[in-house]
Structure 1
Amino acid sequence: MVYIPPYIVSKLDTLSVYDVAERLGIEIVSNHTLCFMHDDHHPSMSFKKSDNSWRCYVCGVGGHSIELVKRYNGYTFQEACIWLARNFNIEIPDTKEVRLKKVAARKVSPKVEETPKVVDEEVLEWIIRNAGLSELAKDFLFQERKYSKDVVKAMKIGSISDATKFVAVLTKVFSKERCIKAGVLIEYGSKTLPVFRVPCLLFPYYDMDGNIRNIQSRFLGDLEKKKKGRFNNCKGLTPLMFNMPVLKSSGRYDKIYVAEGVTDCLAYLSEGKNAIALPGAGSFRPEYAQYLKDNTLFIYVDNDDAGKSLLEKMNVALRKVGNSIHNIRKDTEHKDYSEFYLSKLKEHEKDTGKFV
């Protein structure tokens, strides 16, 4: 490939990332857009005018103008430079004969929020009120994970062990059509099935005023290798944060622990800590910072790249409202807080001969 002088490289890389994004077909709204490098559902790619940069806080990838073109078009460094030069009328010696591979036209835009689906609170509350805990659920919660029974009860956690029975009982109380509209049942061919993968735990999500907004499930069976789908939500509903009412009842500057997932949140709660949970590392939205601006925040980030990206993404959003979150992880041994919680219990058992 041709030689590109450093002074031209510098000139190309200082081209406005906003102008470059526009030429590529990337639409930016409020400095954010959907990331084109992963299956993004909430705009996680951020653009900054102050240092003319871009970054995806889920992928952890970022840079300036050359890197944006390189990643978006699948080009080499030299090809990205030539593309920029041709699009912004900057001459690079001996490149007129270079042919760039064609890239299929595509458009990347921030997700346009659809009209929120109306939550059928009656259906969701009925499910939670009538969902007991199966033996499999009890084994997972109390034997395997050692969570507090009082916490599990207070969080109104239930389970489903028989999909056919769940559908039959639910549709005796509510019409099948209403349950499908509520997002708890789906039709698959000639069958009517729960939207949740069964057997599973059920976690109700409430807003700060205690109104149910969603139910998230956790599959308790064995997943096939590399198969996703351990967690499911009511169809058409997106959870905010788990245990949000604690934010309303907590005082200004009270300590709040933020977990990456409900099960880690149960570990915090079982230790007597005030905690909330994000549905997952990639689910944090900048607007959540408004809910968290008045608390002293702590997180034990998961031991992976997604956890590190989450910490950075949260701090970017929180700094805008005058707050930050502190990482309390001091080790690299444990995968997540639930595993760390169990290790502490085992240490206690070793010292006292029993679990607390």
Structure 2
Amino acid sequence: MKFDLNRLRELSITEVAIKLGIEVKRKKVLCFMHEENTPSLEFDEKKGMFFCHGCNQGGDVITLVEKYSGSNFLSSCSWLENAFLGGTANIQQFSSPSLKKRVIPKIEIHANSEIYEWLISHATISKSGIDYLKNRGFKESIIEQMQIRDLQHPSIFFEDLRKKWGDDQLLNCGLAKNHDKYGITSIWWDPVILFPFIDPVSRVNYIQARRINNKEPKYLNLIGLIKPTYNLSCLQQMKLGDHLFICEGIPDTLSMIQLGYYCIGVLGASSFDKSLIPALMDFEIIVIPDRDDAGERFFQKLRSEFNSVGKSIAKRQLPNNFKDVNEYLRSNSRN
């Protein structure tokens, strides 16, 4: 089922909270995600966002339903559709979730998030982009859930970015470069798929692009910025002791998500953010490396980092005939 995500995200976050059963009497309320005596959870009606200053968790109306109910993304969208937009299914009533104590990664709002979010909200996904992703085994529901977009004519879109944000900001956020011959230009020239990185408070803090025409390099990163971890937003939905898979790269991570697992993606062993380890200690960590020497080095690097703080992690080996998780997904999609 396809949902109009823009309409869902335009719903009053206060009304959604009340419908869920959260008692909203003042600007701040007691957070349902952790134990506290002083209210620290607040709703920003103008932005349609919630945020808890006690546990540093927040997001939009969809995230609120996910977090309160323990439902996944699609189930939460369905609940909102039925509750507010005239859906036909019965409205499920959720009981208040049991409180849990977990280390939550402290998230600082990325200075460039507003630009990245504008880009993702104004870009679309074309039929050719959808077909490209479907050929790699991905369903439209995953494309929609992960807010994947494409640009068939990046240079034209770049001019809109320049008018909105100016050259200096685009250079600072890694979306532009200063070419010796052509001056300020986009970092993307060929048609690209865009993968937004959404952090635990539902902000876009990075974008990686993938050339559709398979020119090298296939993957294009933002210039001058550290590559963060992909799909950290899944930590919002997890409980103590859950299995968390770690893959190298976005396609394998998306494949695991489509297969129904919690998974985060690291863009190379050298890009692993050690500061995340305290927030991952509550989970059973399982690494699925590619079946090659580089994959083994990736696993050994992560194992060394976790072992240094007394945390053991496991490795899940792919069957012999598959080199990575995405190849496994595509094989099963064809069967």
Q: TM-score, normalised by structure 1?
A: 0.59
Residue of structure 1 equivalent to 2:162: 171
How far apart in 1 are the matches of 2:157 and 2:269?
30
Counterpart contact for 2:155–2:188, Cα < 8 Å: no
Residue of structure 2 equivalent to 1:338: 326
- One of 190, 193, 204 as aligned partner of 2:182: 190
Residue of structure 1 equivalent to 2:247: 259
Residue of structure 1 equivalent to 2:227: 239
Q: CA shift at 1:330, angstroms? A: 4.2
Counterpart contact for 2:246–2:285, Cα < 8 Å: yes
Counterpart contact for 1:258–1:299, Cα < 8 Å: yes
Residue of structure 1 equivalent to 2:308: 320
How far apart in 1 are the matches of 2:236 and 2:307?
21
2:196 equivalent to 1:208: no
| Bigger RCO (CA 8 Å, 6+ sep) | 2
User: What is the Cα-based RMSD across aligned positions, in Å?
Assistant: 2.2
How far apart in 1 are the matches of 2:310 and 2:270?
22
SS class of match (2:255) = helix
Alignment of 1:1-356 (within 5 A): 119-142=111-134, 144-188=135-179, 189-223=181-215, 227=216, 229-346=217-334, 349=335
How far apart in 1 are the matches of 2:172 and 2:275?
27
Counterpart contact for 1:197–1:217, Cα < 8 Å: no
Counterpart contact for 1:166–1:194, Cα < 8 Å: no
Output one character per residue of 1:123-147: Cα deviation in whole Å (capped at 9) or x when no partner. Answer: 11100111111233212211x1121
How far apart in 2 are the matches of 1:194 and 1:262?
22
Q: 1:173 to 1:203 in 2, by over 3 A?
A: same
Q: 1:239 to 1:117 in 2, by over 3 A?
A: farther
How far apart in 2 are the matches of 1:137 and 1:298?
31
SS class of match (1:218) = strand
Amino acid at match of 1:176: D
SS class of match (1:311) = helix
Q: CA shift at 1:231, angstroms? A: 1.5
Q: CA shift at 1:184, angstroms? A: 0.9
How far apart in 2 are the matches of 1:118 and 1:254?
28
Q: CA shift at 1:172, angstroms? A: 2.5
SS class of match (1:308) = helix
SS class of match (2:305) = helix
Output one character per residue of 1:134-185: Cα deviation in whole Å (capped at 9) or x when no partner. Answer: 233212211x112121222121111111122111222232223322222212
Counterpart contact for 2:246–2:286, Cα < 8 Å: yes
How far apart in 1 are the matches of 2:235 and 2:109?
24
Counterpart contact for 1:264–1:338, Cα < 8 Å: yes
Q: TM-score, normalised by structure 2?
A: 0.62
> How many residues align structurally?
227
SS class of match (1:147) = coil
Counterpart contact for 2:318–2:325, Cα < 8 Å: no
Output one character per residue of 1:275-318: Cα deviation in whole Å (capped at 9) or x when no partner. Answer: 11111344224444333211112222101111101111211211
Residue ranges of structure 2 left out of the alignment (5+ in a row): 1-107
Which structure's CA Rg is the greater one?
A: 1
Q: CA shift at 1:334, angstroms? A: 1.4
Q: 1:287 to 1:154 in 2, by over 3 A?
A: same
Counterpart contact for 1:152–1:266, Cα < 8 Å: no
Residue of structure 2 equivalent to 1:354: none
Counterpart contact for 2:285–2:313, Cα < 8 Å: yes
Amino acid at match of 2:236: K
Output one character per residue of 1:169-223: Cα deviation in whole Å (capped at 9) or x when no partner. Answer: 2223222332222221223222432223521111111332223221111111132
Residue of structure 2 equivalent to 1:6: none
How far apart in 2 are the matches of 1:117 and 1:180?
19
Residue ranges of structure 1 left out of the alignment (5+ in a row): 1-115, 350-356
**Segments of 4+ moved more than 3 angstroms:** 285-288
Amino acid at match of 1:216: Q
SS class of match (1:263) = helix
How far apart in 1 are the matches of 2:286 and 2:183?
45
Counterpart contact for 1:286–1:314, Cα < 8 Å: no
